[in-house]
Structure 1
Amino acid sequence: MTQAVTGNVIAHELRRRIAALGHVSVAAFMELALGAYYAERDPLGARGDFTTAPEVSQMFGEMIGLWCVDLWSRMGKPQPFILAELGPGRGTLMADALRAARVSPDFLAAAELHLVEINATLIAVQKAALQGFRPQWHKSFDTLPPGPMILVANEFWDALPIHQFVMTKAGWQERVVALKDDVFVFGEANPGSERILLRPEHGKATLGEIAEISPAGLRLAAALGRRFARAPGAALIIDYGTMQSGLGDSLQAVKQHRYHDPLIDPGCADLTAHVDFAALAAVAREAGASTHGPKTQGAFLQELGIGLRTQTLKAKSDAATCAEIDAALERLIGADGMGSLFKVLVIASPDAPQPAGL
């Protein structure tokens, strides 16, 4: 399907690059579009483009907070330690997590809060949500300070750029974005060096099937693996994706809570792709870390006790609020929604204790 190119700044920059190079990779298209998309806007909530689990219910962040307290205790209660989040959104998850963590004052006293965020608008919102915890902000994972660390990343990896490869009669070709009659279209080109990252499971592809890899996602998982190989800690990764590497085109765009053609209005819609959790776990282990999971979000939250938390909240609520709590729970753990689509993976130090829920 082809769509007309709009006159936005990102579209003009993509045109310029395509005119010079003939095409750009899907990863380059995503990187440019998402860089503009996430630069300043608040994409969350009813007035935005999508809703994440922390915005569905306070229970989600509360479970994550109790998970962090439990892991910190199992780690021997290091003091101080880095409590980090990648892509904190409005700070809702961390605010709920820290509220739940009040059951352990020692945890709160030891935690040094660090947030990785590039969006100036969201940083302002995070400052308001997390005032009192003295957070420090970073533009990348690489600048987080050394030491014991517990890191949370909810719906972060799905927005990292992917390369797509198409199986043709001549073998793998890279799927690219080109221009035809001033319209952005998908095309094919000789694959670049990223092809070496294709996994054995991708070799089962038949004619026309698509394989996806995220070098950026793999690099970050490897960086976590290297860090945890030399310092205690763990990263809790929650995102939508697959437990096993496979085939298929998962690139999608969302705008105003509706599916949107990814080639229309680049920079004005959210672009995402499914996370390959098996690939993340493999590179983290190769870097020296241990991994736990992946497991479905529904099973993870139920094992952490979200059902009991639901009953506690309902005991203090009227009938209408109880119905809202039940609906939120179903959305978080239901087999036909987030509960099965979203997966949970922990990357940890080789000698780290078994994390709860996994």
Structure 2
Amino acid sequence: MIPFSEYMNEWLYGPEGYYANFKAIGKQGDFYTAVSTSRFFGATISHYMISLIEAGHLSPYTHLVEIGAHQGYLLGDMIEWIAQEAPELLETMRFGIVERFAGLRKAQRDYFVSRFGDAIVLEHYEDPRQVGAKEAFVVANEIFDAFPCDLVFKGKTALVERQSHDIRFEGEDAQALALAEKYGQIKGEVARGYEAFARSMSALAKKLVFVSFDYGEKEARTDFSIRIYKGHEVFPLFEEGLDLGELFGRSDITYDVNFAHVIDAFEAAGFTTAGYKTQLRALTEMGLPHLLEQLAKLGDQTLYVRELNKVKTLIDPQIMGERFKMVEFRQELG
């Protein structure tokens, strides 16, 4: 039997894992993200980054990096907005993606060629520590929920039988149980790898702004949130009759993020927490209303209404607006 975190790692990142090869996101995939919902998501984050450059917190030579980029839509949307708001930055900035899977790197390169031709040079890195930039603005969407986790229940951790996919709470992983005790968990998920990831991020650039969006809360849940997404249907992991062998590697498996754990990991690595907000508040403060006003001024009412309806999904408290959170970390900013 193996720890659940190892089982989940194989499910998502093994040779035949769910994320090892390109998967469609959106209507044709298993789930939607903010990126697949509206290009104004990336445009708003880009507008915020430009405001930091204009205020002197970052320089025009900042390296824009996405982590967990899938096909690269978010980074592409951000670059497209730079071209509209501050095109001179395209001459000074560098653009990159941290991606460990060769198949996804190819999909990202192909997408950038189809979208930008040879106008944008896309750099790739397999690890954040390879970037080595002087200054960087780093963005990630739904990355922390994709870290393998252990499951704890009444002082025991979950073990999985490889062949049958049976889950039994018979383990005693000291690190997982220590984290569970720290966050007051008797039952639930304990993410593994946040600490190592935060340390690797601290080596990405001397001066760094890291903005990430994900679903969860600033405290651990007291029950199991872990679930499987397949064809836009949601299946709780412990649903009776669920065939894990059939779903293994062919579907997404995820859980609610404990942002207190994320924040502790980054602050231990030397970062300052610059913000923790709902997605609604974050996008509003980053300038989304201003971007929509600019669109309205173009005079195309049909386009405006269509994009406004997409944006509502991002900020509606009943959909993504309150459930999703933004966390921002900074390192050595003047």
- Give the TM-score normalised by the residue count of structure 2: 0.86
Deviation per residue, 1:153-192 (Å, 9 max, x gap): 111111110111111xxxx10022237xx64222112321
Match of 2:226 among 224, 248, 251: 251
When residues 233 and 251 of structure 1 are mapped into structure 2, their CA distance, relative to the original with a 3 A threshold, is same
Q: Which residue of 2 aligns with 1:163?
A: 150
Aligned pairs for 1:19-98 within 5 A? 23-35=1-13, 36-78=17-59, 80-98=61-79
Deviation at 1:303, TM superposition (A): 1.4
Match of 1:220 among 197, 212, 219: 197
325-334 vs 56-65, greater mean Cα deviation = 325-334
Q: Which residue of 2 aligns with 1:20?
A: none
1:37 is paired with a residue of what secondary structure?
coil
- C-alpha separation between the residues in 2 aligned to 1:343 and 1:57? 17
Does 1:303 pair with 2:285?
A: yes
Match of 2:141 among 151, 154, 157: 154
- Preserved CA contact (<8 Å) 1:199 1:245: no
Does 1:113 pair with 2:91?
A: no
Deviation at 1:322, TM superposition (A): 4.0
Deviation at 1:121, TM superposition (A): 4.6
Percent identical pairs in the alignment equals 22
When residues 310 and 79 of structure 1 are mapped into structure 2, their CA distance, relative to the original with a 3 A threshold, is closer
When residues 285 and 329 of structure 1 are mapped into structure 2, their CA distance, relative to the original with a 3 A threshold, is same
How many residues of Structure 1 are paired with residues of Structure 2 in the alignment?
Answer: 317
Match of 2:157 among 161, 169, 174: 174
Q: Which residue of 1 aligns with 2:240?
A: none
Q: Which residue of 2 aligns with 1:271?
A: 253
Q: Which runs of 5+ in 1 are unaligned?
A: 1-22, 354-358
- Preserved CA contact (<8 Å) 1:38 1:118: no
- Preserved CA contact (<8 Å) 1:221 1:281: no
- Preserved CA contact (<8 Å) 1:202 1:211: no
Q: Which runs of 5+ in 2 are unaligned?
A: 114-118, 238-243
- C-alpha separation between the residues in 1 aligned to 2:276 and 2:137? 18
- Give the TM-score normalised by the residue count of structure 1: 0.81
Deviation at 1:320, TM superposition (A): 5.0
Q: Which residue of 1 aligns with 2:327?
A: 345
Q: Give the root-mean-square deviation of aligned CA atoms.
A: 2.4
When residues 28 and 310 of structure 1 are mapped into structure 2, their CA distance, relative to the original with a 3 A threshold, is same
Q: Which residue of 2 aligns with 1:127?
A: 109
Deviation at 1:271, TM superposition (A): 1.1
When residues 303 and 81 of structure 1 are mapped into structure 2, their CA distance, relative to the original with a 3 A threshold, is closer
Deviation per residue, 1:76-98 (Å, 9 max, x gap): 54363321110112221111111
Match of 1:140 among 127, 134, 151: 127
Deviation at 1:331, TM superposition (A): 0.6
Deviation at 1:34, TM superposition (A): 0.4
